[in-house]
Structure 1
Amino acid sequence: MRCQPKLYGLVYNWLKITQPCLLCDEPSDTPLALCSGCETELPWLGEHCLICALPLSSLGTQAALTCGECLQRPPAFDRVEAPWRYAFPLDALITRFKHQAKWPLGRLLGELLAEHLRNAFDEGLPRPDYLLPVPLARQRLRQRGFNQAAMLARWLGQGLDLPRNEDCLQRIQDTPAQQQLNAAARHRNLRQAFALSPGTVVQGLHLALIDDVLTTGATAAALAGLLKSAGAARVDIYCLARTPKPGER
């Protein structure tokens, strides 16, 4: 007499189940919860500034260009790595992850960012010593319940086998939200907003700041300047998306 029922067929069927695409709800034909068709239709960054990753629409066949802003006023950070432009449907996915706590969408985007970074490392991008998520002010963290940059840093750390430090940076001023401010106001808004935690040592380190979207670069520049003034050798920015200039598609 057999103690266990014959479940071979059920186990076989379970192993064959494919996860649905989080965008179109059709069965995914990739290891991720995103089908190849939807992945192709994401707003990939394309030609961009090699420092700040600003999308550039008139590069032609020239391969290596730096935008005028970075030429005139080089930023404190060394390089921005982002797979996409901040455009539909990616903007909706980030908004749902960030403001509606749709964590599976964030995890999917984090896995795709990790794949992008693996390719960049293979092509010569130096691997950082630590991943540092952009910190949230305490009040905003309580309101939202989580820091989306910290979650991205955890997923990237796991996928890329890189250490992270979530306690290195502090946001000591709860400044107004950046979304409604222009570039000049964003920079004024962030003066003295950040600090290093007591006892933090970054001398000679290559650090990567993690955030969801880079818009004007004010937050990234403020944090990179803080880290560089404390002795960091290099500061890169890893984010999901880069916004184009106002008025550009």
Structure 2
Amino acid sequence: MRCQPRYEDQVYIWLKNKQFCLLCGDTTDTPQPICTPCEADLPWLGDQCSVCALPLPMAGLRCGQCAAQPPAFERVLAPWAYDFPVDSLITRFKHQAKWPLGRLMGELLAQSLQHQFDEGLERPDALLPVPLAAPRLRQRGFNQAALLARWLSQPLGLACEEHWLRRVQDTPAQQALDAKARRQNLLRAFALSPEAQLRNRHLALVDDVLTTGATAQALARLLLEAGAARVDVYCLARTPKAAEPA
């Protein structure tokens, strides 16, 4: 006796479904939509400053700026230098809403962080995405840092506190300003939500790219002054530009 009805057409078997690399279009042999050659060719960050992740010629050193004036944040963790094709992937994710590219980079960042946790890196208590000002959020439609924090939260088993930080003042693009103007620009740009629970917490800021570190510095100071014990920075990429003085 047959307990299943006969079905003559082809049956979809999801285990045989092919996944394609988002960079080159070839089929992949990895859990993520990126093939092994493309993943190997990404601009992985090598020797770097042990604090701000600035690319350096040797490992285990601090850059001159961090040695002279250590920033408020403890450490920056970024898997890549801001170079091709990562720079293009981040731009398309942020400004063209190519979410699959952001999700791919977020998953690879999560893998990199988990490896470092396994090697002894101290795990934070919560992830805090760098907030966007309301006008920019309306224009873009999403906060790329918040998406990254969500994509890191589940695989790493870390709380994502999207609303603890608020951007209360929109500011001009940081790249167009000198160091003094950047610091002044960010002086009153951020605020804490009343629901934020920071006392003696180890927190990690999440963003896409760290350039001068001015935003991370302003937020880390705000968190530490409110009682946080330590602030790290998790981002996708680091530009070859020194962090600003504290």
TM interval, shorter chain, is: over 0.9
Q: Please state if 1:55 is matched with 2:49.
A: no
Whole-angstrom distance in 2 between the partners of 1:159 and 1:181: 37
CA–CA distance in structure 2, aligned partners of residues 164 and 17 of structure 1: 32
1:125 to 109, 118, 121: 121
Q: State the one-letter code of the partner of 1:106.
A: G
The correspondence for 2:221, drawn from 221, 225, 234, is 225
Task: Give the match for residue 7 of structure 2.
Answer: 5
Work out the CA distance in 2 between the residues paired with 1:128 and 1:6.
Answer: 55
Q: Which consecutive residues of structure 2, in runs of 5 or more, have no partner in the other structure?
A: none
**Corresponding residue number in structure 2 for 1:30:** 30
1: distance between equivalents of 2:113 and 2:55? Answer: 18
Matches within 5 A, 1:59-74: 59=58, 63-74=59-70
Out of 97, 112, 116, the position equivalent to 2:112 is 116
| Deviation for aligned residue 1:6 | 4.6
What TM-score does the superposition give when structure 1 sets the normalisation length? 0.92
Structure 1 unmatched ranges of 5 or more: none
SS of 1:126 mapped into structure 2: coil
Deviations 1:171-225 (A, max 9, x none): 1111112233343332221111111112423010000000000000000000000
SS of 1:236's equivalent? strand
Count of residue correspondences: 240
* 1:130-170 superposed Cα distances (whole Å, 9 cap, x missing partner): 10000000000000000000000000001111111111011
Between the aligned partners of 2:36 and 2:165, the Cα distance in structure 1 is 37
C-alpha distance in 1, partners of 2:241/2:52?
12
Counterparts of 1:143-222 in structure 2, within 5 Å, are: 143-222=139-218
C-alpha distance in 1, partners of 2:162/2:210? 19
Aligned partners of 1:121 and 1:182: how far apart in 2? 36
Cα-Cα RMSD:
1.5
CA distance in 1, matches of 2:210, 2:180: 15
Please state if 1:39 is matched with 2:39: yes
> CA–CA distance in 1 between the matches of 2:96 and 2:179?
26
1:11: how far off?
A: 3.5
Residue 101 in structure 1 maps to residue 102 in structure 2: no
Question: Deviation of residue 4 (structure 1)?
Answer: 4.1
Regions of 4+ moved over 4 Å: none
SS at match of 1:179: helix
Length-normalised TM-score, structure 2: 0.93
Give me the identity figure in percent. 65
Distance 1:45 1:183 in 2: 25
- Asked if residue 239 in structure 1 is aligned to residue 235 in structure 2, the reply is yes
Separation in structure 2 between the aligned mates of residue 25 and residue 80 of structure 1, nearest angstrom: 32
Question: Secondary structure at the residue paired with 2:91?
Answer: helix
